[in-house]
Structure formats: structure tokens, C-alpha cells
Amino acid sequence: MRKLLNTLYITTPEAYLTKDGQNVVVSANKDELFRIPVLNIEGIVTFGYMGASPGLMKLCMDNNVSLVFMSPQGRFIGRVQGVTKGNVLLRKKQYSMSEDEDVSLHLSKLFVAGKIFNSRNILRRFIRDNGMDEKIEYAAKQMDWSRKCVMEADSMDVLRGEEGRAANVYFGVFDHLILHQKADFSFDGRSRRPPKDEVNAMLSFVYTLISNDVAAAVESVGLDPYVGFMHTLRPGRASLALDMMEELRAYLGDRLVLSMINRKQVNKKDFIRQGDEGVLMTDNCRKELITTWQKRKKETIEHPYLKEKIPLGLLPFVQAKLLSRFLRDELDDYPVFLMR
């Protein structure tokens, strides 16, 4: 099993990354803040515009360490990757199957059904832990129906319609899942660019963290993260990573956000309203979320398909590996992640 290494998150906006031998060095205003051997990390995500030296970029490429640049507000800027690795035959098979409408529809149905199943289970878990809530119970039943409709969809248009319907139902009761600080963390539906409230700001940020991890995992098993089955192909868009993160959004992202709010790890003062930019998280808020995210990735779960215990942080890698085995015809079907 692949070893779970750390992702290095640089949240200081004025930080600049360089190399010293085999070490990653983080400096600000010419003062060294931190250094770590490149062999101890699997990825770097930096929030700022100062950037990194060409030497540091080459060090990351040579050691298969992903380097992702984000704006201070958490918007994706770009990703540096080295020479494409992996079995060229696997990628040829991926490209061929991505152009097969039947295969693309089948995999898309699995991705979306997994997303709905895991989102619905968050609602079921809430009822189990907090008692009956009629609105949440009704939403859970509607999502059960949507999942069945998804698996019976005969076109991408029908599939996307059912996906949108399920998302509206789910986020329509998401506010009920917030038990504490309700006055400060009101939620009135999903908003993305820009996020219009504190909850959406956290959701967007953690979804970005998930997509970065999935893109790195897909690349590590030899697949092309830019050629997917459900999300349309666009230059610079990691379509396969976006496909595969659908089944992981609720379990990895939504639960984390709800937990941090309900445990009062964040509060109203951790956010800033900036007009057209919507609601932004402060530096301290981002650091708290990243720290919690890193801790959660070290938790152990039993994978529902493999029946093996794995660190949660390896889940994207495991799913990418299972997809590659399906594309190689080593599995009869892709075992989408379904966690109860």
C-alpha cells in the first residue's frame, strides 16, 4: 500500500519557495520560515502570488511532488507537474473509453449515484444522532428516489438533471444540519463564485483541497487527470479529477465543514465580507481548516470495497487505483466509494 505523506500548505501570502539541496525552503522578506526534506512530502499547495524558484519546481518534478498555486482567497491558479509517468497503454485505453458514450454514461452514473448516496447518508446520520426531523427525512427519501433515477438515466442530459435536482434537495436542508452558531452561519443554498456566506466559503475551499488531492492521485496511478467521462473537456480543466471527487465531496468535505462549525472551531470573526468578492476566510481560518483537514486525513477507515483499513488521506489514491483496474479490464465494474 502506498505510504501517506504530508501535503505542505503555505498560507503566508508573501512566502517564496526555494530549494536547498534536497530541502524545500519557505522564506518571507528574505527570512527563512521553514524547511523540510522533499522526500517527506507528497504535495505543496501555496496561497499567494510570490511563487517559487525554477530550482524548486524542478526539485518537485524530479520527486513526483505536486505543486499547486492558489490565490490568497483560495482560488485555483495553476498546477506544476513533471514528465508524464505511467503506462502509456493505460492512457490510450482511458482516451478510447472516454470517447465511448455508453462507457462515459455508465461511469458518470456511478460517480453521481455515489455522490447522492454519500450526501443522503449525512442526512440519515443526522437523524440517527439527533432524532427525527421531518424535513430532513423527506429530503433523504427524495434523494433515494433521485439515485434510482440516476442509475436509470439514458442520457447525460437526464443524468445532469437528476444530479441538479438531488443537489437542490440536499442543500435545501443543509442549514438544518448546523446545530450551533446558527445566527452566524446561516445557509440559503449553494453559491460558488463568489461564495455569498461563511458556509459556502468553507465548502468551496475544502472542495478545492479535495480536487487537488484527487488530481494528484489520478496522476500517480498513471491516468490523465484532464480527460474525464462526465465533466466536459476544457483546456486546463482536470475533468477526471472533477469526476472522481463527486463521490468524495460529502464524506470528506461536507462533514468536515459541519463538524468545524458545530464544534465552534470557527466563528463569525474568521470571515470577511468584500463586496463582489463575497465572503472570504481570514488567514487564521484557513490555517485552522487546513490543520483540521490534515488531522482528518490521518484517521483510519475500513474501505467498503477492499475491506482493508486505510488512512483517510489515501482514499483518493485507492479510488484512482480501482478506476485504473477497471479501465484495464481487471475489474468487472468501477467500485464507487459508498460509506455508511
Bigger pLDDT: 86 vs 299: 299
Domains and CATH numbers, the chain: 6-80 (3.100.10.20), 88-327 (1.20.120.920)
pLDDT above 60 (res 125): yes
pLDDT above 60 (res 156): yes
pLDDT one-digit tens code per residue, 192-202: 778 888 999 99
pLDDT above 70 (res 85): no
Residue 43, classed as helix, strand or coil, is strand
Name 226's Cβ contacts closer than 8 Å, sequence gap at least 6: 233, 236, 237, 238, 239, 240
Residue 162's pLDDT is what?
A: 92
Residue 56, classed as helix, strand or coil, is helix
Tell me the sheet residues that pair with 311. Answer: 300
Residue 258's pLDDT is what?
A: 94
Average pLDDT for the chain? 87
CA separation, residue 129 to residues 49, 139, 144, 166, 317 (Å): 44, 17, 20, 23, 31
Residue 86's pLDDT is what?
A: 60
For residue 40, give the C-alpha cell.
Answer: 517527506
Residue 83's pLDDT is what?
A: 65
pLDDT tier for residue 273 given thresholds of 50, 70 and 90: confident
pLDDT above 70 (res 246): yes
Residue 336's pLDDT is what?
A: 94
Q: CB count, 10 Å around CB of 21?
A: 9
pLDDT tier for residue 74 given thresholds of 50, 70 and 90: low
pLDDT above 80 (res 231): yes
pLDDT tier for residue 247 given thresholds of 50, 70 and 90: very high
Structure pTM?
Answer: 0.84
